[in-house]
Amino acid sequence: MFFWQLVVSGLSIGSLYALVSLGIVLLYRTSRVLNFAHGEMSMIATMVAYSLLTAGGVAFGPAAVLTLAVAFAAGASFYFLVLRPVKEATLLGQIITTAGFALVLSGMAVVIWGADTKVLPFPLSRAVIYNIGGVFVNQVALGSFVVALVAMLGLYLLVQKTRFGLAMRAVSQNDVAARVLGIPVRRVFAVTWGVSATLGAIAGMLLAPVTLVHPSMMFDPFLKGFAGAVLGGLDSLPGAIVGSLIIGVVENLFGGYVSTSLRTTVAFLIIIAVLLVRPEGLFGHKFMRRV
Amino acid sequence: MRLLHRSRLALGLALVVAALAALPVMAQERGITPTEIILGTTAPLSGPAAPWGATARGIEAYLQYINEQGGIHGRTIRFEIRDDGYQPPRAVANVLELVERVGVFGIVGMIGSANAAAVRDYIFQNEVIWMTPAVESDPWIGNPNIHYLFVTYPNYYQEAKILARYAVQELGKQRVAIIYQNDQYGMNGLRGVRDALAELGMAPVAEVSYELTDVDLSVHALRIGQARADAVILYATPNHGAMAAAALAQLNPRPQILSSFTLADPIMARLAGAAWDGVIVPSYFPYPGTDEKVDRVLQILVERNPELAAMAFNALAGVTFIEPMLEGFRRAGPNLTKESFVAAMESIQNWDGELLRGVTFGPGRRQGINRIFLARMEGGVPHQLTDWIEYPVEY
Amino acid sequence: MQLIQKYEEEMALVRGWAGWMGVALLAAALLAAPWFLRGYQLYIANIIGSKIIVAIGLNLLVGYTGQISLGHVGFVAIGAYAATHFVTAFQKAAAFQWLGGPFWVALLVGGAAAAVFGVLVGLPALRLEGPYLSIVTLGFGLAVQQLLINWPAVSGGRIGLFVPTARIGPWLLNSHQSMYFLVWTCVVLLSLVAFNLTRSHVGRAFVALRDSDIAAEVTGVNLRYYKTLAFAVSAFYAGFGGALEAYVVRYLEPTMFNLYESIYYLAMVVVGGLGTIPGSMFGATLLTLLQFGLSQAQEYLPVVYGAVVILVMTIEPLGLYGRWLKIKLWSKTWPL
């Protein structure tokens, strides 16, 4: 029973890593940019939700919707305001720009909201516990698991079943060709940034009851999401989900049976071992290049 | 034209560098002028340890209040704060700059064992006054160089021993476990728990560490449950403490939590909610909300810096770092020198401040307080369980 | 404008009288600095020197070979701890007591220990690339820090590890001034080595496998050898820089080697200019000065730091070195 309890709590935190991971992968697929500011953007969105819920006095539902809208707008405008101007820089230059942006955001969070830990008023409670076949699950974990599934389904429909998703996939394959075919590439990039930031905001708000709200709350989830994305294969959306769930479960099993102090190291060792066997990740596509 | 514009930017950068090299202000006794006393600190104001920066903000607000009252013997107190991001190399740079360029009379507080250890030798060699670095006591015990150091901060190790003994002897717990932060702070707690239990012929049933970056402590709680612990001693930061309490609350039966005094923070009841009910927490000064003087100080701080309302305990802790020093200034009189200050500090015997009670220094005694008391939290309100519990003076 | 006629001229480190004047001025400034800078400024200068060495090494890997390391701080940590433990062990051996700890050997030991791990981390690089490689290096950096935290025999346990003072025979390098000369001599020497490396066949092989590893292999560059070599050299520089920093700060604690530091090193290289050694110097100097010199900015410091990084990348996609080239070009064509 201890084993299953560990697995279930691993899946529950893993599903949140997966949400973070999807945002990273979505962006990487389309623009090849690894967004180091993804975690901080999610954290800022959670702070915005906090302000709306406490100082703003908005009810949870509207506040959540408003936060997602703000996150979408912020993500899209980050593309136009910061990343477009550095488009001449190398890919690594763009990545470092996102890292710089991450620093700016984490600094701003301390300046505006303070460094103290906050509680996001959340409609579900951790104190309500369900017994499912002998395994205990609390309401927050269950709720966030469901929301995460819905968000993933929504993303699947967006990418696979809409014209916009088609444009996104076209851009990710060859953005020059896509431009020639009349696809508004810049708009696609902007919207991709927006969607990625929205996913991050959902992840941030769902993590809030577990991690509580503070400027460095997303440091570890971002790292795990990134690791999950690489494990699954950086260009595969289902891979990101599977990879993140694996990390959540492995981390918990190691923490439960062996040691809680080296579990991040072990998670990374496993990823490295997998990558040595499958360099493109579990579900990634093989590299193909012209010389 | 564009090039010209950008070279102006380069000029601006050069000016910043030049400003860094600006000449210092020299005083006869470093940091003391007829109208001013200069103090400084380095604190984590940015980065993962930024919540502890509130201690420096608390000191700043309290000194602002002291200055508004006319200062001490006609001198106002200037307080210089530097950010170190919790990084020892930067803390060293800040302390060097404070002593050599700003010319401070003393360094007040300092957060982080690593930062304090990194600057320790420099401060001792240059005989800088050092008030209450917020670290464990090990570096000072048996150290011959602590003439200019004064500490009013509890000893984590001794506190952990008191908590473990209380759990076994007063609460009758048989299976004591510990959740601790995997760093110097947590290790001192672990050592204390181990030693106290060993004296009673027992051992911790589980020793579970967490990393500062961990976001989910459910595994840690599950391990505690697996070990069937009936009491858990907690050495954690406020947000990890709250996470641990929330996760432990899901265990059935729920173990009794006893936490380190760093969690004697009113914010804990808000962060952990009902999970914080029944937790036993020590303190080295009266809890806010239970003592008029303490509440008055908190009000003074919050009036001057409203942000401190959310970080009440850290802000008040900052005041406990500096409070005895201000008494030292008062006792040293108008002819303040480093030696007259040390003599004044050594004359402090069983002194009650606004926050701290029963502070005692003396020739050869640098540990100003050696006692804590325990309380049980119910709905965010502390109910005092014990009188002061003393531990031996060590330095 | 000068006309380059011979290959040696193209490859020369310093070109023309203006170049030599510049070098002479810089050398004079560096030599005179200890008499003008105050103690804490010399300390910061020493930190900058040690960061420059790490940045140059990282640039050899990232800028020249095109492999991303997100865990360089792991090598820095290994160098710092290896050097410190070597010196301490050496001092304990009675036969060598009169020597003190031979710090120059310790610096090399630090570099060599890191280089060994560089080879190990470089092995997966033979199969992985881009973000997949970066996650391996990231994992390495995190693992080193976590192992140090959980291995008190190495990290010094509860109070951290104090580093003995560097000494040459009876002469103790216990002032910031004497450390300044040590650090900056190392900076000059290691920069020269890096310069020479990049203009040798090794450097050309690095660049070839950055631009296209398959094409490089076809033209006869031994991929396995050069990729591993790049990692080893880069790690050596990081370890050497780490050992120097240990001597400068004189105290080690695992928190000094966190993930942020790896990203700062990467930022130095990119902000300075990828694939240029002076660029790494500019980048390391600017970003270290920001961090250490602007501590009065308090909680605004990360905002300023991040904004400077974004600003440099926006104005100058090639980094500070790109700007430097433009200024040089402008001064040559002046007053046009």
Structure confidence by residue, pLDDT tens digits, A260-272: 888 888 888 888 8
- The mean pLDDT value for C3-11 works out to 72
pLDDT value of position A51 = 96
Asked if B93 and C47 come within 8 Å (Cβ–Cβ), the reply is yes
> What is the distance in angstroms between the Cα of A79 and the nearest Cα belonging to chain C?
13
What is the average per-residue pLDDT within A86-109? 88
In a domain, C301, yes or no: no
In a domain, C328, yes or no: no
**Which residue of A lies nearest to C265 if distances are taken between CA atoms?**
A96
Residue B10 — very low, low, confident or very high, per pLDDT cuts 50/70/90? very low
C159 touches chain B (CB under 8 A): yes
Query: What is the ipTM score, two decimals?
Result: 0.91
Q: Give me the pLDDT at residue B305, please.
A: 94
Decide: helix, strand or coil at residue B394: coil
The confidence score (pLDDT) of residue A265 equals: 87
Look at C305 and A100 and tell me if their CB atoms are within 8 Å.
yes
- What CA–CA distance (Å, rounded) separates C15 from C111? 32
Identify the CA nearest to A250 among candidates A283, A272, A233: A272
Instruction: Give the pLDDT band of residue B257 (cuts 50, 70, 90).
Output: very high
Collect all residues of chain A within an 8 Å Cβ-Cβ radius of residue B214. Answer: 220
Mean pLDDT of A224-241: 90
Residue range B340-355: average pLDDT?
95
User: How far is the alpha carbon of C60 from chain B, nearest alpha carbon, in Å?
Assistant: 26
- Token pair of C101 as six digits: 């700890």
Whole-number CA gyration radius for chain B = 22
Confidence of residue A21 (pLDDT cuts 50, 70, 90): very high
Is C295 inside any structural domain? no
State the pLDDT confidence band at A112, using cuts at 50, 70 and 90.
very high
pLDDT of residue B21: 46
Signed CA dihedral, C234, C236, C240, C243: sign only? positive
* Residue whose C-alpha is closest to residue A200's, from A78, A60, A32, A62: A78
B368-394: pLDDT as tens digits:
999 999 999 998 889 999 999 999 999
Query: Is residue B17 predicted with pLDDT exceeding 60?
Result: no
Q: Is the pLDDT of residue B5 over 60?
A: no
Residue with more model confidence, B15 or C133:
C133
Domain that holds residue A135: 15-218
| DSSP string computed for A223-286 | HHHHHHHHHH-TT-HHHHHHHHHHHHHHHHHHHHHT-SSSHHHHHHHHHHHHHHH-TT-SSPPP
Residue B24: pLDDT band (50, 70, 90) is very low
Domain membership flag for residue C225: yes
Q: For residue C15, what pLDDT band results from cuts at 50, 70 and 90?
A: confident
Number of domains in chain C: 1
Q: Which of the other chains make 3 or more beta carbon contacts under 8 angstroms with chain A?
A: B, C
Cα torsion through B116, B118, B122, B125, rounded to 10: 80
- What pLDDT score does C262 carry? 94
Tens of pLDDT along B169-198? 999 999 999 999 988 889 999 999 999 999
Q: What percent of chain B has pLDDT over 90?
A: 75
What are C74-103's pLDDT values in tens digits? Answer: 999 999 999 999 988 887 776 665 555 577
A116 and B54 Cβ atoms separated by less than 8 Å: yes
| DSSP letter, residue C253 | -
Question: Taking all residues of chain B, what is their mean pLDDT, rounded to a whole number?
Answer: 90
Structural domains present in chain B: 13-153+291-364 (3.40.50.2300), 156-283+374-390 (3.40.50.2300)
Q: Name the nearest CA neighbour of B106 among B314, B318, B332, B337.
A: B337
Q: Tell me how far the alpha carbon of residue C62 is from its chain's centroid.
A: 12
- Report residue B19's pLDDT band, with 50, 70 and 90 as the boundaries: very low
C57 has pLDDT over 80: yes
Task: Flag whether C172 is in a domain.
Answer: yes
Residues in CB range of C43: below 8 A, 6 or more apart: B92, B93, B96, C176, C248
Confidence class of residue C331 from pLDDT cuts 50, 70 and 90?
Answer: confident
Cβ separation C298–B46 shorter than 8 A: yes
Quick one: pLDDT at residue C100? 55
B-chain residues near C302 (CB < 8 A): 46-47, 85
The structure tokens listed for C68 are 């991303």
C209 near C65, Cβ under 8 Å? yes
C10 domain-assigned: no
CA distance C11 to B58: 60
CB within 8 Å of C127: residues ≥ 6 apart: A275, A276, A279
- Domain coverage including residue C215: 39-258
Residue C313 Cα, gap to closest chain A Cα (Å): 6
- Residue B137: HSE in the Cβ half-sphere, 13 Å Cα cutoff: 24
pLDDT at A287: 62
Position C139 pLDDT exceeds 80: yes
Q: Does position B18 have pLDDT exceeding 70, yes or no?
A: no
Q: How far apart are CA C51 and CA C238, in angstroms?
A: 9
Residue C36 has pLDDT above 90, yes or no: no
Question: What band does A52 get if pLDDT is binned at 50, 70 and 90?
Answer: very high
Structural domains of chain A, count: 1
pLDDT digits (tens, 9 = 90+) for C253-277: 998 999 999 999 999 999 999 989 9
pLDDT at A249 over 90: yes
In a domain, C103, yes or no: yes
- Residue C14 placed within a domain: no
Could you tell me the pLDDT band of residue B282, with boundaries at 50, 70 and 90? very high
Distance from CA of B313 to the nearest CA of A (A): 11
Predicted confidence band of residue B26 (pLDDT cuts 50, 70, 90): very low
